[in-house]
């Protein structure tokens, strides 16, 4: 084989890297984080103290209030600040992605796509031998349990994308009941209107929304700081909350472990800081949180605690709105109310964009059905909009708001999802410390014991809320985790079948020349003198056990070359000819004059120049066969221009055979004026397994999972969803895949 040029010659970087900025661009990106990442944790003051001390309970004592504020301050310091901002952001992938699934990918990175191998059609396919070595390691043994746990954590983060809008917006809208009690029964309807508007603007993309939302979030944090400082003057002794012993004594004195479930609400959104890493970068997140967000929310909680101590009965029914300086119907109250509404809508944005990032990760890792993704930024590949996810989140959020009209039930559901995801992140980072960062096992164990203990405390407290509403995110998480687990398992079996049935092109397609002594004449320019046929060897990995007509006739069947062009799309990567082509030749015993095997390589650039999009390889032993890599940027639309591709092919032909007749070049152009695109489709069938007496049960369940569920999902969400957007001139070749 010969190629026109590799990616090194074209200057294309096929590996995505983390975003690196400095100076004013870094400050601008840090400012954008306010509008996407922090409004979730920044709107927690709306409901946290009432989550700890509900209006239905007695007014807490001064020491209890100080203890609860102390628990909030130290929880924010140990988990969002220390665990996430300072430590966790160091554990993003090389591509700049964050979140629990990115941690799993760091431990078990997906196989890198080799574009050169994808264009190799006559090379023998070899299965990797690294698995046997890795199988003996501890990391390999815990791969599947860790994957299941990680998928569950990722699923709960997605469930968080439903609960955050529901809780935040309902809490903010509830403030109108303080000034206008007559509209309390309309809070649900008003919340739904705001939520629908939020989801309708998602197609504008992360960057535009961030620039729109960031100024609002900036003013919101300034308001929190200002009102917090003012309220602290009512009881400066609230600064005793910085003493961690106050928090410990609170639980010793009250013996009420469930108070931690209320404290947990102050931490909502901390996972979004990590999950949104791919949308921004670690430096911008650290800069904005440490210098602006963290001080702002600490002052807000100190001020609320001071007012609750000073004006207990008057403040307790709604701590946030009743602690706003001035009269209830005063100008500042309505300013705070408007910005609270806006801030909670922005807070919802944090988990919506985080959900988009997580879904993008699991789709790219073949752990979720491939949904159509739209990239919204010219510079950051992680800024993505997924229509199907957006509308599903909107519907689910509205259902949650309507079903959980009581805010306390919503917050119960909210806390459980947050606690579970935090514990998942701790487990995965502890393993990464040992196996990826190569640090001492004692550091790994120490990290797990410290932060695992804190996470477990919150998780245990939230677990008690399962009967009171936390069952909802648990149910959503289990459903999503089940879908992802099924997809990983079944898709792995399908890919294994595809790799096993790839074949060396020369093993079943041969050509002979009437004057050629060896049956192959590389220099022949008259393709009509060549007789092509395919020969299916008896020892090949065929999915059909029945003897074919070709085998009965001695293993040879003539194939007529027809003046046409066919583009076979290679979905899975790897050497050799995909099984689609084998099935195509079996059904239609003819070979087009020009046969192109096209694989797609997405590069971490927004656009790829037209002259650099196609890299062509020619099969020299069989005339008219080419392997092509189609390089596109993440903002480019999939649009294979046959004219541009054929010009690259003609240039290659002239390079390899300077004496080629112009009539042969013109023939290639003529037959390629219209091309037929052929896309693969596996019709999966569950194979029978023998596991003893329970084989009938196992085979029944296996058949239900693969044929009744996975097959339907694979048909509904084809892997061509992000590529072949038009059905014109496309043939779907169906192949039975017994997996």
| Distance (Å, whole) CA 330 – CA 132 | 72
Q: Report whether 37 contacts 383 (CB < 8 A).
A: no
**Helix H or strand E segment including 734:** strand 730-738
For residues 431, 436, 437, 443, the Cα torsion angle rounded to the nearest 10 degrees is 20
Joined tokens for residue 587: 């059904």
| Distance (Å, whole) CA 638 – CA 631 | 10
Which of 573, 592, 585 has the alpha carbon at shortest distance from 642?
592
Locate all alpha helices (DSSP H) within 501-639, ordered by sequence.
505-508, 549-552, 579-587
Q: What is the 3-state secondary structure (H, E, C) of 5-32?
A: CCHHHHCCCCCCCCCCCCHHHHHHHHHH
Categorise residue 597: left if φ over 0, alpha if ψ from -120 to 50, beta otherwise: beta
According to DSSP, the β-strands at 675-685 and 557-570 are: parallel
| Distance (Å, whole) CA 471 – CA 409 | 10
Q: Report whether 273 contacts 160 (CB < 8 A).
A: no
CB contact set of 609 (below 8 Å; sequence gap of 6+): none
Joined tokens for residue 643: 């004219």
| Distance (Å, whole) CA 270 – CA 265 | 10
| Distance (Å, whole) CA 226 – CA 300 | 8
In the chain, count H helices and then E strands: 32, 11
Ranges assigned E (strand) in 32-78 = none
SS3 at position 603: strand
Domains and CATH numbers, the chain: 2-15+26-109+146-493 (1.20.1740.10), 501-738 (no CATH)
**Helix H or strand E segment including 567:** strand 557-570
According to DSSP, the β-strands at 614-618 and 625-633 are: antiparallel
Locate all alpha helices (DSSP H) within 201-330, ordered by sequence.
206-232, 244-254, 259-264, 270-275, 282-288, 294-310, 312-315, 319-322
| Distance (Å, whole) CA 442 – CA 445 | 5
Alpha carbon 662 to its chain centroid, in Å, reads 50
| Distance (Å, whole) CA 520 – CA 562 | 19
| Cα 420 to Cα 159, 456, 590, distances in angstroms | 11, 9, 57
| Distance (Å, whole) CA 558 – CA 549 | 12
Residue 126: the pLDDT is: 41
CB contact set of 221 (below 8 Å; sequence gap of 6+): 34, 38, 42, 292, 293, 296, 297
SS3 at position 681: strand
Which of 340, 314, 335, 325 has the alpha carbon at shortest distance from 228?
325
Q: What is the 3-state secondary structure (H, E, C) of 196-210?
A: HHHHHCHHHCHHHHH
SS3 at position 737: strand
Distant-in-sequence contacts of 666-669, Cβ < 8 A, 24+ apart: 667/527, 667/563, 667/593, 668/593, 668/594
Ranges assigned E (strand) in 145-187 = none
Q: Report whether 451 contacts 464 (CB < 8 A).
A: no
Q: Report whether 487 contacts 368 (CB < 8 A).
A: yes
| Distance (Å, whole) CA 733 – CA 636 | 27
Backbone angles phi, psi at 530, to 5 degrees: -105, 130
CB contact set of 330 (below 8 Å; sequence gap of 6+): none
| Distance (Å, whole) CA 739 – CA 726 | 30
| Distance (Å, whole) CA 71 – CA 246 | 8
Which of 435, 439, 454 has the alpha carbon at shortest distance from 146?
435
| Distance (Å, whole) CA 671 – CA 291 | 64
10-residue mean pLDDT series, the chain (739 residues): 45 55 79 81 88 87 96 96 92 73 83 77 51 57 87 82 76 69 74 87 74 86 95 96 95 90 86 77 89 95 96 90 87 89 78 81 85 76 82 89 68 72 90 91 95 92 76 84 92 86 79 49 42 45 39 60 87 80 79 89 81 88 88 80 89 89 89 83 88 90 94 83 57 81
Joined tokens for residue 30: 């840090």
């Amino acid at each position: 084989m010969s190629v026109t040029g590799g990616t090194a010659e074209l200057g294309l970087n096929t590996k995505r890297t983390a975003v690196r900025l400095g100076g004013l661009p870094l400050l601008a990106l840090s400012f954008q984080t306010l509008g996407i990442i922090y409004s979730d944790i920044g709107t927690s003051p709306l409901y946290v103290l009432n989550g700890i001390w509900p209006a239905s309970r007695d007014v807490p004592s001064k020491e209890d209030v100080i203890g609860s504020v102390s628990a909030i301050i130290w929880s924010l310091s140990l988990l969002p600040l220390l665990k996430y901002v300072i430590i966790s952001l160091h554990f993003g992938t090389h591509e700049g992605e964050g979140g629990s699934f990115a941690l799993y990918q760091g431990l078990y990175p997906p196989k890198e796509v080799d574009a050169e191998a994808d264009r190799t059609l006559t090379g023998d396919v070899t299965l990797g031998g690294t698995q046997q070595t890795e199988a003996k390691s501890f990391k390999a043994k815990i791969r599947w349990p860790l994957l299941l746990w990680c998928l569950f954590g990722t699923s709960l983060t997605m469930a968080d994308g439903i609960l955050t809008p529901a809780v935040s917006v309902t809490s903010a809208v509830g403030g109108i009941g303080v000034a206008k009690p007559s509209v309390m029964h309309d809070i649900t309807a008003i919340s739904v209107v705001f939520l629908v508007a939020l989801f309708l603007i998602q197609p504008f993309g992360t960057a535009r929304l961030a620039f729109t939302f960031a100024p609002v979030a900036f003013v919101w944090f300034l308001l929190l700081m200002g009102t917090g400082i003012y309220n602290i003057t009512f009881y400066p002794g609230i600064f005793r909350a910085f003493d961690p012993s106050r928090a410990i004594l609170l639980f010793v004195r009250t013996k009420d472990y469930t108070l931690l479930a209320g404290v947990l609400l102050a931490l909502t959104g901390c996972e979004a800081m990590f999950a949104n890493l791919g949308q921004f970068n670690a430096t911008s997140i650290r800069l904005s949180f440490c210098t602006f967000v963290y001080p702002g929310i600490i002052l807000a909680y100190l001020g609320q605690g001071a007012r609750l101590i000073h004006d207990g009965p008057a403040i307790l029914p709604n701590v946030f709105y009743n602690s706003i300086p001035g009269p209830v119907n005063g100008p500042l109250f309505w300013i705070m109310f408007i910005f609270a509404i806006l801030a909670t809508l922005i807070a919802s944005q944090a988990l919506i964009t985080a959900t988009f990032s997580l879904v993008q990760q699991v789709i790219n890792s073949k752990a979720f059905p491939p949904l159509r993704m739209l990239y919204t930024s010219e510079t950051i590949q992680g800024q993505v909009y997924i229509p199907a996810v957006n509308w599903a989140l909107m519907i689910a959020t509205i259902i949650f708001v309507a079903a959980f009209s009581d805010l306390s039930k919503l917050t119960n559901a909210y806390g459980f999802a947050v606690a579970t995801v935090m514990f998942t992140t701790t487990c995965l980072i502890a393993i990464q410390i040992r196996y990826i960062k190569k640090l001492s096992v004692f550091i790994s164990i120490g990290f797990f014991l410290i932060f695992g203990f804190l996470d477990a405390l919150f998780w245990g407290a939230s677990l008690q809320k399962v009967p009171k509403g936390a069952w909802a995110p648990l149910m959503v998480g289990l459903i999503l985790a089940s879908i992802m687990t099924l997809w990983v398992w079944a898709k792995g079996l399908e890919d294994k079948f595809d790799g096993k049935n790839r074949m060396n092109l020369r093993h079943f397609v041969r050509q002979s020349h009437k004057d050629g002594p060896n049956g192959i004449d590389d220099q022949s320019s008259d393709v009509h003198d060549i007789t092509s046929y395919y020969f299916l060897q008896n020892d090949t990995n065929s999915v059909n056990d029945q003897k074919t007509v070709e085998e009965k006739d001695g293993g040879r069947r003539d194939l007529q070359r027809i003046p046409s062009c066919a583009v076979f799309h290679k979905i899975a990567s790897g050497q050799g000819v995909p099984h689609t082509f084998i099935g195509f030749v079996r059904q239609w015993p003819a070979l087009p004059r020009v046969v192109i095997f096209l694989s797609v390589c997405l590069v971490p650039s927004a656009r790829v120049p037209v002259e650099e999009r196609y890299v062509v390889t020619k099969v020299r032993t069989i005339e008219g066969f080419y392997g092509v890599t189609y390089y596109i940027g993440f903002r480019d639309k999939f649009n294979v221009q046959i004219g541009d591709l054929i010009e690259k092919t003609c240039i290659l032909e002239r390079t390899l055979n300077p004496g080629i007749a112009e009539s042969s070049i013109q023939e290639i152009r003529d037959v390629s004026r219209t091309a037929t695109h052929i896309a693969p489709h596996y019709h999966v069938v569950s194979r029978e397994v023998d596991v003893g007496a329970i084989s009938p049960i196992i085979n029944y369940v296996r058949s239900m999972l693969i044929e009744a569920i996975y097959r339907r999902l694979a048909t509904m969400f084809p892997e061509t969803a992000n590529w072949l957007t038009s059905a014109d001139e496309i043939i779907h070749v169906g192949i039975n895949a017994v997996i």
